[in-house]
Amino acid sequence: MKPPAFEYVGATSVAEAVAVLASEEDAKVLAGGQSLLPLLALRLARPSRLVDIGRLRLDEIELGPDDSPAAGAYAGGAGGPTLRLGALTRQRRLETDAAVGRAAPLLREAARYVGHPATRNRGTLGGSLAHADPAAELPAVAVALDALVVATGPDGSRQLTCAELVEGYFTTTLEPAEILTEIRVPAAGPRHGAAWSEWAPRAGDFAEVGVGVALELDAHGVCHWVGAAACSVASVPLVLGPALAEAGVVGAESAAPALLRAVAQSVKEAASAAGDDKAELAALLAARSVADAFERAQRDRARLDQAEPAA
């Protein structure tokens, strides 16, 4: 079908876009459009006006010092560097950008599972978070990595965690006139390993379940932090970091079979509300991600040890 009729504003500034959203209840933001255009074509959405923010320069990626008061839970700890991504960063760029690969390898790996190359060339990171599809990879990654988002509205900007942003099925805590403008991801520290595993019937389909894990080892090779989340098992990304830590990932030196069994058991329990099939799948994928993340963190450790031999 064809989209229904609507008015169109090609926004030239965030302030202009916010003003239009504030003045009209049924106005909606158009970013990359890879979820909104299908909704329009199927006539599941009927906005009175679309505010196209696609030409705003909100696509810069920069690795900078952390000045966000809410950060600090992450491995690097308070004061660690933060990867700042403009909300309109294209999903394709998450796959190819070197800074993203270094500072947030989980984001890079998961991006490859988002739709297809042609949709990733248009789809944006901020759009995916604001759309809050429970089957989407990027909100789960953002939650796993304790990312923060910046929302800009008529009264200025505020910062909130991704867990606070995503409220339920396709629902966020953004105010009607707020636009998501930036995503702040605590950057990976040394001896970092991350892995995204998912199962979908065909490449590019929505995941039946997806699980992302990032972890870091200390100088002795012992895991001191793990972050994890799953998509497609609940109405919001299912937080798994604390469960994995408790299952023994924190304190472990490698993904021994006993550890992976404990991981699978704890994830199965955490995902039990989604039904047996999904819970079992989540458990398997979590174990796979933990194993891959450990292997990559150990490789990173070996690389660092080679570069700086212990005195």
Q: Which stretch binds another protein (CB under 8 A): 35-43, 76-84, 102-110, 131-139?
A: 35-43
For another protein, the closer of residues 110 and 223 by Cβ is: 110
Which residue in the set 22, 37, 63, 250 belongs to the binding site for another protein (CB under 8 A)? 37
Which residue in the set 10, 80, 101, 190 belongs to the binding site for another protein (CB under 8 A)? 10
CB of 120 to another protein, least distance (A): 9
Q: Where are the beta strands (DSSP E) in the chain?
A: 7-10, 27-30, 49-52, 61-64, 82-86, 148-153, 156-161, 166-168, 171-172, 179-186, 192-199, 209-217, 223-231, 238-239
Asked whether position 54 contacts another protein by CB under 8 A, the answer is yes
Asked whether position 265 contacts another protein by CB under 8 A, the answer is no
Q: Which stretch binds another protein (CB under 8 A): 51-59, 237-245, 269-277, 296-304?
A: 51-59
DSSP per position, 97-158: -HHHHHH-HHHHHHHTTSS-HHHHTT-BHHHHHHHT-TT-HHHHHHHHTT-EEEEEETTEEE
The residue type of 183 is I
The vertex-163 CA angle with 75 and 13, nearest 5°, equals 100
Residues 201-240 interacting with another protein (rule: CB under 8 A): 202-204
CB of 116 to another protein, least distance (A): 3
CB of 143 to another protein, least distance (A): 26
Backbone angles phi, psi at 282, to 5 degrees: -60, -40
The residue type of 192 is H
Which residue in the set 12, 15, 26, 41 belongs to the binding site for another protein (CB under 8 A)? 41
Residues 119-158 interacting with another protein (rule: CB under 8 A): 119, 121-122
Q: How far apart are CA 209 and CA 95, in angstroms?
A: 21
Could you give the strand order of the β-sheet that contains 49-52, starting from the edge strand earlier in sequence? 7-10, 49-52, 27-30
Residues 283-302 interacting with another protein (rule: CB under 8 A): none
Residue 165, number of CB atoms within 10 A of its CB = 23
Q: Which stretch binds another protein (CB under 8 A): 15-23, 113-121, 208-216, 287-295?
A: 113-121
For another protein, the closer of residues 130 and 226 by Cβ is: 130
CB of 121 to another protein, least distance (A): 4
CB of 193 to another protein, least distance (A): 23
204 close to 107: Cβ distance less than 8 angstroms: no
β 49-52/7-10 pair status: parallel
Q: How far apart are CA 248 and CA 253, in angstroms?
A: 10
Q: Which stretch binds another protein (CB under 8 A): 29-37, 65-73, 213-221, 297-305?
A: 29-37
Asked whether position 70 contacts another protein by CB under 8 A, the answer is no
Q: How far apart are CA 106 and CA 301, in angstroms?
A: 17
CB of 148 to another protein, least distance (A): 28
Asked whether position 3 contacts another protein by CB under 8 A, the answer is yes
Tokens at 270, concatenated:
């955490």
Residues in contact with another protein, shown as a per-residue x/- string from 73 to 112 under the rule CB under 8 A: -------------------x---x---------------x
Count each helix (H run) and each strand (E run) in the chain, helices first.
12, 14
Non-local CB neighbours of 27 within 8 Å, separated by 6+ positions = 20, 21, 47, 48, 49, 50, 51
Contacts with another protein by CB under 8 A lie at 1-8, 10, 30, 33-34, 37-38, 40-42, 50, 52, 54-55, 92, 96, 112, 115-119, 121-122, 202-204
